[in-house]
Amino acid sequence: MVWERIKKLVGTGKTESDSPSGENADVADAGTAKPAVAWINAEDNPWRVSVLDVRPLTYAMVSTSADPQCATNAISYGEDDGTVFIGDAPKVVRIVPSSLTFPVDQILVDGVLFVPRQMEHKWAIFYHQEKIICVRSWQRQVAVIAHVKSSMGSIRITEIQGVFCAADEDPDFTERTLDYLLRSHVLGLPYPAPLPPGMGAALNCDDVALWCFSLYGNLVAFAAEERIEHVQPSKLLRTHSVLHIAVARGDLDAVKACLAQGRSTEVLAGDGLAPLHWALARPEVTVMEVLLAHGSPVDIRSEEGATPLMNAVQMSKPLFVSFLLERGAEVDARDLRGFTSLHRAAEMGHLDVAKILIAAGASPFLEAEGHSALTLAEGRGELEMIKLLRTRLQA
What is the per-residue pLDDT for 226?
95
pLDDT of 26 > 80? The answer is no
The pLDDT tens digits for 199-258 are 988 999 999 999 999 999 999 999 999 999 889 999 999 999 999 999 999 999 999 999
CA distance 159 to 95: 6
Q: What angle do CA 265, 268, 271 make, to 5 degrees?
A: 140
What is the per-residue pLDDT for 61?
84
What is the per-residue pLDDT for 260?
96
The pLDDT tens digits for 281-294 are 999 999 999 999 99
State the pairing for strand pair 111-114/123-128.
antiparallel
Least confident of 31-40, 118-127, 137-146: 31-40
Backbone angles phi, psi at 237, to 5 degrees: -80, 125
pLDDT of 7 > 70? The answer is no
Distances, alpha carbon 67 to alpha carbons 25, 73, 164, 311, in Å: 10, 10, 21, 42
CB 106, CB 153: distance < 8 Å: yes
Q: Which CATH number fits domain 240-297: 1.25.40.20, 3.30.465.10, 3.30.70.100, 3.90.1490.10?
A: 1.25.40.20
pLDDT of 372 > 60? The answer is yes
Average of pLDDT values for 139-161? 96
- In the chain, CATH 1.25.40.20 covers 240-297, 298-395
Q: What angle do CA 11, 225, 212 make, to 5 degrees?
A: 35
The pLDDT tens digits for 72-120 are 655 567 778 899 999 999 999 999 999 999 999 989 999 999 999 888 9
What is the per-residue pLDDT for 79?
74
Q: What Rg do the C-alpha atoms of the chain give, in angstroms?
A: 25
Average of pLDDT values for 27-36? 55
CB 163, CB 93: distance < 8 Å: no
392 versus 357: the higher-pLDDT residue is 357
Tell me, what DSSP letter sits at residue 35? P
List all residues 6 or more positions away from 129 whose beta carbon is below 8 Å from its beta carbon: 86, 110
CA distance 16 to 164: 20
pLDDT tier for residue 71 given thresholds of 50, 70 and 90 = low
- The terminus-to-terminus CA distance of the chain in angstroms comes to 80
Least confident of 13-22, 187-196, 201-210, 264-273: 13-22
Average of pLDDT values for 174-184? 98
CA distance 346 to 388: 10
CATH 1.25.40.20 fits 298-395, yes or no: yes
Percent helix, strand and coil across the chain, each rounded to 5? 40, 15, 45
